[in-house]
Amino acid sequence: MTSADQIVALGHVSYDMAHLIGAVILMMSFGLLYQRRLTAVIRLYSFQAMVLALAAAWQAFVQDAPHLYASALIALLFKGIAVPFALNWLVRRLGIHRTVETALGIGPTMIAGVGLVALSIVLVLPVTASAAAMTRENLALAMSVVLLGLLMMITRRNAVTQVVGFMSLENGLILAAVGARGMPLVVEISIAFSVLVAMALFGIFFFRIRERFDSLDIAYLETFRGERR
Amino acid sequence: MIIGTVLGGFLCLGVLGLLGSSLAATHRLIYAGCLVLAATATGDGLFHMIRYGQEAVPAVVLPFGLPWLKAHFRLDSLSAFFLVAVNFPAALASLFGIAYGSHVPEPRRVTPLFPLFLFAMNGVLVADDAFVFLVSWEAMSLSSWLLVLSNHTDAAARRAGLVYLVMAVFGTFCLLSAFGLLAGPTGAFDFAAMRVAKLSPLATSLVVLLAILGTGSKAGLVPLHAWLPLAHPAAPSHVSALMSGVMTKVAIYGLIRLLYDLRGAVGWEWGFLMMVLGAAAAALGVLYALMQRDLKTLLAYSTVENVGIIFIALGLAIAFRDHGEVALSALSMVAALYHVVNHALFKSLLFLGSGAVMMATGERDLDRLGGLLNRMPVTGVCFLVGACAISALPPLNGFVSEWLVFQSLFKGPTVAHWAMRFGVPVVGVAMALAAAFAATCFVRAFGVAFLGRPRSDAARAAREVPWPMLAAMAVPAVFCLCLGVFPVMVTTGIATVVEPLVHVVLPAAVLGWPWLSPVSLTAGSYSATMVLLSGAGLMITTLLLVRHLGTRAIRRAPVWDCGHQEDIANAQYSADSFSQPLRRVFGQVVFRAREEVEMPPPGSTAPARFTLFITDPLWTGLYLGLQRVIDAIADRVNHLQFQTVRRYLLMMFLTLVLLLLVVAVRQQ
Amino acid sequence: MTAFFFGLLHTVLVLAVAPLLTGLVRLPKARLQGRQGAPAIQPYRDLWRLLQKESVIADSASWLFRIAPYLVFVSVWLAATIMPTFTTDMIMTPAADLIALVALLGTARFFTALAGLDTGTPFGGLGSSREMFVASIGEPAMLMVIFSLSLLTHTTSPANMIAYVTGGHIGIEVSAGLALVAMVMVAIAENGRIPIDNPATHLELTMIHEAMVLEYSGRHLALMEAAAMVRLLLFMSIISSLFFPWGMAFVDDGVAGVALGLLAWLAKVSALAMVLGFFESLVAKMRVFRIADFLGGALLLALLATIFLYVSEAV
Amino acid sequence: MTGFLSSLLPVGPADPLFWVLGLPLAGALVMALLPDWRHAAWLNVLVSAATFGAAACLVFVRPVETPLLFIDDFNIYLVGLTAFVGFSTAMFSAAYIGRESRIRRLAPRNLRFYHSMYQAFLFTMLLALTANNIGVLWGAGEAATLTTVLMVSLYRTREAIEAAWKYFILCSVGIGLALFGTVLVYLAAQPVMGDGVAAMAWSQMIRRAGAFQPELISLAFVFLLVGYGTKVGLAPLHAWLPDAHAEGPTPISAVLSGLLLNVALYALLRFKMLIAANGHALQPGPLMIGMGCSSIFVASFMLYRRGDIKRLFAYSSIEHMGIITFAFGMGGALANFAGLLHMTMHSLVKSAIFFAVGMITQATGTKRIADIRGLTARAPLLGWCFVVAVLAIAGLPPMGIFMSEFLVISSTFARDALLAVPVMIGLLITFGALIWRLQGMAFGPPGQWVPDSERTHQSALVRAVGMAPLVIHLILALIAGIYLPDALVAWFQAVGKLLG
């Protein structure tokens, strides 16, 4: 087996591995859509973050781009551990309901999710592999994760689940970022997003958002929505 | 270039007014300045018409406006003619303003804008590219809007201002698109390029339609007239005179510039359309006027009528030209322009008269006036002359132009198309009705306001107004007579203006002095001079006869009135009762006019009450309807303001998915 | 030169004949009412007597009230001089056409109505209001008649019209007939004859023209009356000359022709006067608001007259 | 200090760009530490003035482009504009904040924070404008969002907090989508440009954009349109905009409308240039035209139901963003020129309007339009300036916006009449609403007024400083409507060519 073959083989292996990890992340997004219990949602999210860390690490190894290890570390420590911890604390501290209020039933949500995945696959089909810094599959996976995150944000009434949706959306972004061959600034981007997330959590805590973050207070919702009617 | 300096002068006066309007003297100074400048512009226009004839002064380019285009100005015979038609009344209004300007509610809101208004109107006339034209056009609307709002504490004036400005901007958008079509995608906005622009038939029709809409909304063509009777009366009278007598003419100028100069060939159908619209405006406008009790509103509505007459003539000109009847086309253009001058004259005269009445009595309501002729003789006489002129009585100028319009109208069926042949007589009926109604309308206006017995203390205590105002009214009165008595000079003058537009000049032989026989010697002729002379002769004869055959004894006595002898001035015929027969016949159909009389029960001393309700179907139907639609939609859209964040995210999500689907579909 | 002479003659004649004509109209009415009736020259006596009387003027009236009669009379007289009666060879004929004639009558009406308003009495106002109302529909009708005639004869000047008609360019035209009917209706309205108005009435509420001149007396009243008489003559001459122009003299006919034309004219107008008298005693006066229908009918007839031109042209 | 800055910034002190970016950054740090907010207010003015000066230097010395930062015809005048509006707004806010603090609406702590954030915001704006690297562009945009969120919630009222929260959530999602778009662009660029920074440097991408994979950048553009479009405030992504404008301090509303929207649009246009240079990708025109029209219509009808003066003009900002987007969607020399001109004019005039609104609300003590009456009678200078500003924003000559609307409509009509009609209708409806409201507020008998005794007694100087920006902006807009400097025209036309 010549070295060239090895590289090719390694290339195949690396791609397959990346796809595998991406698929796992996507599965977890579906899981998030499916889950009805808050704690489980949080746990699933932390798993997703950890798998993302794994994906980043793998990319760092394959592209031998050491800076990606940093974003892997961020994903692992901040998103995989700190954030879930904070969320659990919030849930306890604010006494948030443990069950997930859905605006759209689980079933329809799943169907919509599948539709989104199909859409993203359709979208990346015309992309010729050679012309992109990333395989179609990875791209499709990342895009699906992003769209599913958005879907979760709009089908969940519960504040924490919405934040989780936002964060899984962001996981999709990081997945795309680390997957892109030789993309600079990935670390900075993950840091920037961590700031956003932190602010979101801080906001939930600071504004005492118990149920839903589309209003600060149920009673207040009626009287004020931007302007007195 | 004199006109340039004049424009600059107006601008300076405006700035001066903005700065120094706290001093009473400034107002007089500014109006005096406007008088001088406007007179100069008039002179310049006349000089240009006489000196240069058709060929235009080469365009002047100034380094502002659109960066790659710059600002083009040009003075050709058409502009020169309208310079005269605009600036002469403007000069009169300024003269009037010298005395009247300080009597308006808030002079500081009027004086600075007056010169700016004149500036804008003159700017429209000398503009030679679309940008300058529209900027001046809008400036015209803007300044007059602020002038309408000058007594802003009056809610009615504010409403008028709103309707006015919105309609004005509607018109501007129409013109904007028309110019856009003419300029093409490359944006050749100067008129020189537009003249040679090649357009598809569809584009041409669009241009014509938009031009009619755009200028018609400014000129007050039915059904775009709704703002006019609101806005014109709301402004101070010397401004109303300009808005009604002059600004509408600037709109006419825009139409002529677009349809006759920039667009050479326009299908006769458009002429027909203009004719019909004009007929509707003429008949409806004067009918509205007949129903009004407010003197200035009445005058404003009669402006709608006269604009209609001008449109009839212009439409005929287009139809004739399209059918190769160039001589007739020239004739109707001459008629139109003649009426432009006349209307500018007597309408400003009448509005100034109403201003004088307001200054003397503080009243605009006809039913609170009366008997002013004895207290304000000069104003009365001038107003009477104006009323006779606008009612087209020989030997005054109004008759001449209407006679010319009728002459060209009677030749309408020479355009051998069934639409014209059956349309023209109908238009003729409308115009004849308009003429007759106008006479009734002004008998009513003058008779109720100036004759009979005063109906209020204010009218009883009226005093004659100071001399500048009298002069400002007397001069146009004299001109109304002159333009009526020596029409041939005017028509020959106008013929030179018309020639470059229709490429034929009315043969001078046909217009030989003193016979005004436009079509041919046998087709009918009118010699105002001879009519006047023989009339004078007969008058002298009559005087002599009566003098020699009869006594000259005269006895003043209390009015006989079949022995009834009631002295209450309110027993006179009021404005409403005067128009009652016509209201019964037409009003109930056109305006759904309703009269309510509530009689007190026998024995009670309560007065009987008469109330009159008149609704403008166009206003309630078209404009209020539009408003209702907008309100309904606004209510629906307004829900977007009161959603939850999740809904907003949903909207984002859907937008994203939609766009992605678009891409997906496109990429397959 | 002849034109000037004939014009002058015509001008004088119009004034001289008008009262007689009014007298003639009254004859058959009196006969039909079984009265002896005043002689035909009675109107002359009336005018003379009025001229002799002093004129009483309401103190609320302005100067306009005094000059109005002169303006009215002169403009009607002037209108009358325009219309060729016995010859088309008159100095004034090219000076103005039928449109101008209508406008001159309009002027007369304008000032009559103003005079009615000037005294500030209810009846004056009533009169002028109704007069203008009648005119607002009558005048358009007359203009439309002129329109159709001008389409028929390609001119608006009466002289040329007459020349065209007698020139045998047109045979019996439907539209001409319609125009004639419309013209007659307008003439009745314009002269305030029954069924529009009753010149003999003094029951205030039914008056139109009389109500306006109610306050006049003496020479002013005389002028107003004379104006009415001349107007009647004028309309009769219009009908006779435009629709029955036979016997009229033209530019090149000699004095004999003119004399013939003169006789023809007098015969025609007196015949018309008789007819009018009979007609007036047969019909009853109509309500004021029915006038609109009457004159609207005239207007429609005139419009039809123009339309029919194309119809007859098409076939 | 300089050393510290140069460690932060990728350019040297010799470069005006260094000062353009460094001054606000340093100012932010200093003001965060400055104890007394009054000094902070004036320091704020000084720093902004200096920044403007530095930006003005850019016109004469154009810095060499680096992979991270660069100056070209497009952003040079936007940098100048941003620095200028930042400066004038700082002047206005010095007077405004003074009054606010007197009536105890703001605690000193908030004020220190406010000024520091103001400079930070300016820094992020300028960074986003001068960024060559699309990643930096994105990051600056995010930072701008964060700083403004903090300033919008400054008053700590429930309305303010809800507005800030809405703003934060919506824009975070928008930013996320924008990032995805950015990554996609990189994916398309990388195979052509090779690894690393080069594949994110706009100035290098534009040269070889023709070789990019069309499908990828088309896909990218959709995400960028939705992402940055949210920040631009295109309907139906506009929901955050009115509340954020209405509930924050008025100077912030001014810079939001005047600067932030422009910067977001600028980012979008950079990517549109890439697509235009590519040629094979999908035409962005129809998408932008669609969103533009929807913005115009939503805004125009919304205006009729607004009772809050600041929301009224926030919606008018949405409408104008719609017009600009529409213009760029149409493309072509005229429309692009018009769009660029409109961006400039809108940021001048709209910030001027918010200055006026700020003074009006402080003088009348209300934000409800119904309670504001007869301004021209009660306070002539302010009232008439307000009238002129609103007329300008409504698109009446001789102000600059008329010129751009003139060009947009006429060129559109010449090319596709059917597209121009809805725009004209929308503009007309908007116009009606604005004039209706304007007449109610500016004319008629004077309405309620906070008695001077309760209002702060500021020195004439402070009042003048507060009034000057309004007047200056209006004068500039007036001049621009009549005469445009050749340099600006040249820039516009050069950019217009790139925009396709």
Query: Rounded to a whole number, what is the distance in Å from the CA of B645 to chain D's nearest CA?
Result: 6
Facing residues of B62 across strands? B71
Q: What is the structure's pLDDT at D111?
A: 84
Q: Are strands C55-58 and B554-557 parallel, antiparallel or unpaired?
A: parallel
Candidates D274, D46, D49, C77; CA nearest to B542 is C77
Give the least confident one: A54-68, C189-203, C229-243, D42-56: C189-203
Residues A150, B656: contact at Cβ < 8 Å?
Answer: yes
Give the least confident one: B212-216, B451-455, C248-252: C248-252
Secondary structure of chain C in HEC code, one letter for each residue: CHHHHHHHHHHHHHHHHHHHHHHHHHHHHHHHCCCCCCCCCHHHHHHHHHHHCCEEEECCCCHHHHHHHHHHHHHHHHHHHHCCCCECCCCCHHHCCHHHHHHHHHHHHHHHHHHHHHCCCHHHHHHHHHHHHHHHHHHHHHHHHHHHHHHHHCCCCHHHHHHHHHCCCCCCCHHHHHHHHHHHHHHHHHCCCCCCCCCCCCCHHHCCHHHHCCCCCHHHHHHHHHHHHHHHHHHHHHHHHHHCCCCCECCCCCHHHHHHHHHHHHHHHHHHHHHHHHHHHHCCCCCCCHHHHHHHHHHHHHHHHHHHHHHHHHC
Residues D326, D423: contact at Cβ < 8 Å?
Answer: yes
Residues D93, D44: contact at Cβ < 8 Å?
Answer: yes
CB neighbour class for D7 (10 Å; exposed up to 12, middle 13-18, buried from 19): exposed
Instruction: Find the chain A residues whose C-beta atoms sit closer than 8 A to any C-beta of B.
Output: 103, 116, 119, 122-123, 125-126, 147, 150-151, 153-154, 157, 162, 212-215, 221, 225-227, 229
Q: Is B646 on the interface with A (CB under 8 A)?
A: yes
Residues 582-641 of B with CB under 8 A from C: 582, 584-585
What tokens does D241 get?
């905009």
CA distance D118 to D138: 19
CA distance A218 to A210: 10
ipTM: 0.91
Query: Rounded to a whole number, what is the distance in Å from the CA of A215 to chain B's nearest CA?
Result: 7
- The one-digit pLDDT tens for each residue of chain A (229 residues) are 444 455 455 567 777 888 889 899 999 999 998 888 888 999 999 999 999 999 999 988 888 888 889 889 988 998 899 999 988 888 888 777 777 777 788 889 999 999 999 999 999 888 876 666 677 888 899 999 999 999 998 888 777 888 889 899 999 999 998 888 888 888 888 888 888 887 777 777 666 654 444 444 433 433 445 554 4
pTM: 0.93
For B365, the 3-state DSSP assignment is strand
Angle at B230 between CA B445 and CA B431, to 5 degrees: 55
Are the Cβ atoms of A229 and B642 closer than 8 angstroms? yes
Are the Cβ atoms of B551 and C218 closer than 8 angstroms? yes
Most B-contacting residue of A100, A214, A225, A229 (CB-CB within 10 A), to test interface: A214
Angle between helices D134-152 and D240-247 (to 10 degrees): 50
Residue type, D2: T
> Considering chain C, what is the average pLDDT of its residues?
88
Query: Rounded to a whole number, what is the distance in Å from the CA of C31 to chain B's nearest CA?
Result: 30
Are the Cβ atoms of B131 and D406 closer than 8 angstroms? yes
Are the Cβ atoms of B640 and D305 closer than 8 angstroms? no
> Considering chain D, what is the average pLDDT of its residues?
89
CA D216 to chain CA centroid, nearest Å:
29
Mean pLDDT of B336-362: 94
Q: What is the structure's pLDDT at D456?
A: 58
Residue B391 confidence (pLDDT) above 70 = yes
Q: Could you tell me the CA-to-CA distances from C27 to C93, C197, C199, C201, C274 in Å, in that order? A: 33, 19, 15, 17, 8
CA distance C213 to D68: 99
Facing residues of B526 across strands? B516
Tens digit of each residue's pLDDT (9 = 90 or more) over D87-122: 999 999 988 888 887 776 777 788 888 999 999 999
Q: Which residues of C143-157 are buried (b: 16+ CB within 10 A; e: fewer)?
A: bbbbbbbbbbbbbbb
Residues B148, B91: contact at Cβ < 8 Å?
Answer: no
Are the Cβ atoms of D413 and B180 closer than 8 angstroms? yes
For B74, the 3-state DSSP assignment is strand
Candidates B610, B612, B573, B574; CA nearest to B593 is B612
Angle at B392 between CA B391 and CA B394, to 5 degrees: 125
Most A-contacting residue of B642, B662, B665 (CB-CB within 10 A), to test interface: B642
B105 contact partners, CB below 8 Å, separation of at least 6: B150, B151, B153
Residue type, D425: I
Question: What's the structural domain count of chain C?
Answer: 1
What tokens does D495 get?
């950019």
CA distance B646 to A74: 29
Query: Rounded to a whole number, what is the distance in Å from the CA of B228 to chain C's nearest CA?
Result: 25
Query: Rounded to a whole number, what is the distance in Å from the CA of B247 to chain C's nearest CA?
Result: 29
For B308, the 3-state DSSP assignment is helix
Most A-contacting residue of D157, D213, D216 (CB-CB within 10 A), to test interface: D216
> Considering chain B, what is the average pLDDT of its residues?
89
CA distance C3 to C92: 8
Are the Cβ atoms of A229 and B644 closer than 8 angstroms? no
Domain boundaries, chain B: 621-667
Chains C and A touch (3+ CB pairs under 8 A): no
- Tell me the residue range of the domain where C283 lies: 2-314
The total of other beta-carbon atoms located within 10 Å of residue A64's CB is 8
Q: Are strands B594-598 and B554-557 parallel, antiparallel or unpaired?
A: unpaired
Q: Could you tell me the CA-to-CA distances from C213 to C15, C49, C199, C202, C228 in Å, in that order? A: 20, 17, 11, 12, 11
CB neighbour class for B570 (10 Å; exposed up to 12, middle 13-18, buried from 19): exposed
C150 contact partners, CB below 8 Å, separation of at least 6: B410, B524, C98, C156, C161
CA A170 to chain CA centroid, nearest Å:
5
Q: Could you tell me the CA-to-CA distances from D44 to A28, D89, D110 in Å, in that order? A: 49, 10, 15
Contacts of C51 in chain B (CB under 8 A): 546, 549-551
C-alpha torsion angle, residues B637, B641, B646, B649 (rounded to 10): 70
The pair phi, psi for residue D452, each rounded to 5°, is -55, -30
Candidates D380, D473, D376, D356; CA nearest to B19 is D380
Query: Rounded to a whole number, what is the distance in Å from the CA of A55 to chain D's nearest CA?
Result: 17
CA distance C103 to C95: 14
C307 contact partners, CB below 8 Å, separation of at least 6: B422, B425
Using pLDDT thresholds of 50, 70 and 90, give the confidence band for residue B201: confident
The total of other beta-carbon atoms located within 10 Å of residue B618's CB is 17
CA distance B668 to A198: 41
Tens digit of each residue's pLDDT (9 = 90 or more) over B624-653: 889 999 999 999 998 888 888 888 999 999
Domain boundaries, chain D: 298-500
CA distance D264 to C224: 85
CA distance D49 to D122: 12
Closest chain D residue to A177, measured at CA: D183
Closest chain A residue to D150, measured at CA: A199
Domain boundaries, chain A: 3-223
Are the Cβ atoms of D173 and A170 closer than 8 angstroms? no
Query: Rounded to a whole number, what is the distance in Å from the CA of C177 to chain B's nearest CA?
Result: 18
CA B360, B363, B365, B371 torsion: positive or negative?
Answer: negative
CA distance B308 to B439: 16
> Can you list the positions of beta strands (E) in A43-201?
none
Closest chain B residue to D403, measured at CA: B66
Closest chain B residue to D406, measured at CA: B176
Give the least confident one: A192-201, C1-10, D128-137: A192-201
The residue with tokens 């309305």 is: D159
CA distance D19 to C122: 89
Highest-scoring range by mean pLDDT, C23-37, C200-214, C245-259: C23-37
Residue D403 confidence (pLDDT) above 70 = yes
Give the least confident one: B295-309, B453-467, C251-265, D289-303: C251-265
Using pLDDT thresholds of 50, 70 and 90, give the confidence band for residue B567: low
Q: What is the DSSP letter of B226?
A: T
Nearest neighbour of D196 by CB, restricted to A126, A172, A182: A182
Are the Cβ atoms of A215 and B644 closer than 8 angstroms? yes
Most B-contacting residue of C12, C64, C92 (CB-CB within 10 A), to test interface: C64
